[in-house]
Structure 1
Amino acid sequence: MKKKPIREIVLRTASRLFYQQGYSNTGINQIVEEAGIAKSSLYQHFRTKEDLLMAYLEDTGAQTTAALRKAADRHEQPRDRMLAIFNYLEELLKQPEFYGCRFLNIVYEMPHDNDRVRERIKVQKDTVRQLFTEILTPIQKEHLADEFYTLFEGALIGNKVHNAHWPIVSATNTLKRLL
């Protein structure tokens, strides 16, 4: 069996901890201990904790985009593609290990002036907006992309605040009415 590279072990461990307990509540010593590595090994790959956070955001961003595209690409019609994304989100929200949107969780923890992290999160969120625009363009409804993006984000926030399923149901029902 091939051993995983240390960078991957560190990133997977940090990703799990950042998501489960938050960036601020996760210390370098905990990451090192749970990854089973020497602290110097971590610093060979990530100069700072924020560098590790940036790798986490980039990695999880790619995974999120791929999952949304995969859900949409199972369908041909734009309406069905949009509904598939919202259905994917609904299934995600039902999972017991769902602790909220990884990007929103981090942005809430960041000081307002941490432009580096906020810009990385904005890139990811703009990728979702662009995906919606891309899906809606063939039916000349691209002007609704920001409205659907707001519904999508609102469902994530509503779920986190209320710890309930109704925000995604409401968002999906609104999407159906608008399309």
Structure 2
Amino acid sequence: MRKERKNAIRDRIIDTAGRLFYKQGYVNTGINQIIEESGVVKSSLYASFRSKEEILMEYLITVGEATDESMLAAAMKHKDPKKQVLAIFDQLIKIVETDDYYGCTFLNVISEIPKDNQVVTEQIKKQKNSLRSLFARLLEPIGKEDLANEIYTLFDGAMIANKVHGELWPVTSARKTVERLLQ
């Protein structure tokens, strides 16, 4: 029972911090705000996490796993490798059209942290490489796995341009480009 309670507190901290990191940025989110909004006492937070960066790391791992599952699930609705890749872009279109989309979690964080923060940078690279690998795996049966880097670059570029412009066209344009690449 005690372990379940500790996990519940830990999950509440991660959920609260993640929501705040995503909406207002990692740098703009303070420990005291996380404590206040999560409803935990300071000692519980520090019993679960040694630092704000440790909370961030757990959040990035959690979001990375959810993102990977979401993209794979979208792709697996189809049998044709080309349609699988395009389905990932369709999934991105659905995501960016939601009212609570504030950009890619990983791209947002990487833009805020110092360049020499290797721990966070490596976690973000791990998640981004997971997407690149997914594109390569999906395209391997048709011998087009060498396009994975280009497709990944279009995917991330579309997210950045969407955040800059606040419009859907960057994502739909990237999808059209990928469709032409896969012909």
TM (norm. structure 1) is 0.97
- Corresponding residue for 1:54? 57
Q: Partners in 1 of 2:175 and 2:38 — Cα distance?
A: 39
| 1:92-111 mapped onto 2 (5 Å cutoff) | 92-111=95-114
Match of 2:41 among 38, 42, 64: 38
- Moved runs in structure 1, 4+ residues, more than 6 A? none
- Corresponding residue for 1:10? 13
Letter in 2 for 1:143: D
Displacement of 1:74: 0.6
The SS at the match of 2:115 is: coil
Q: Which runs of 5+ in 2 are unaligned?
A: none
CA-to-aligned-CA distance 1:124-165 (integer Å, 9 cap, x gap): 000000000000000000000001000100100000111111
Displacement of 1:122: 0.3
Match of 2:75 among 67, 72, 76: 72
Q: Partners in 2 of 1:16 and 1:73 — Cα distance?
A: 28
| 1:137-176 mapped onto 2 (5 Å cutoff) | 137-176=140-179
Say whether residues 1:117 and 2:120 are aligned partners.
Answer: yes
Letter in 2 for 1:119: E
The SS at the match of 1:5 is: helix
Q: Which runs of 5+ in 1 are unaligned?
A: none
Q: Partners in 2 of 1:83 and 1:132 — Cα distance?
A: 10
Letter in 2 for 1:81: Q
Q: Partners in 2 of 1:26 and 1:94 — Cα distance?
A: 25
Q: Partners in 1 of 2:9 and 2:130 — Cα distance?
A: 29
- Corresponding residue for 1:85? 88
Q: Partners in 2 of 1:65 and 1:103 — Cα distance?
A: 13
Displacement of 1:114: 0.6
Letter in 2 for 1:49: K
Q: Partners in 1 of 2:131 and 2:83 — Cα distance?
A: 17
The SS at the match of 1:156 is: helix
Displacement of 1:53: 0.5
- Corresponding residue for 1:19? 22
- Corresponding residue for 1:135? 138
Q: What do you get for the CA RMSD once the two structures are aligned?
A: 1.1
Q: How high is the sequence identity, in percent, across the aligned residues?
A: 51
CA-to-aligned-CA distance 1:21-77 (integer Å, 9 cap, x gap): 000000000000001110110111111110000001000000000000010011111
Letter in 1 for 2:136: T
Letter in 1 for 2:9: I
Q: Partners in 2 of 1:5 and 1:93 — Cα distance?
A: 30
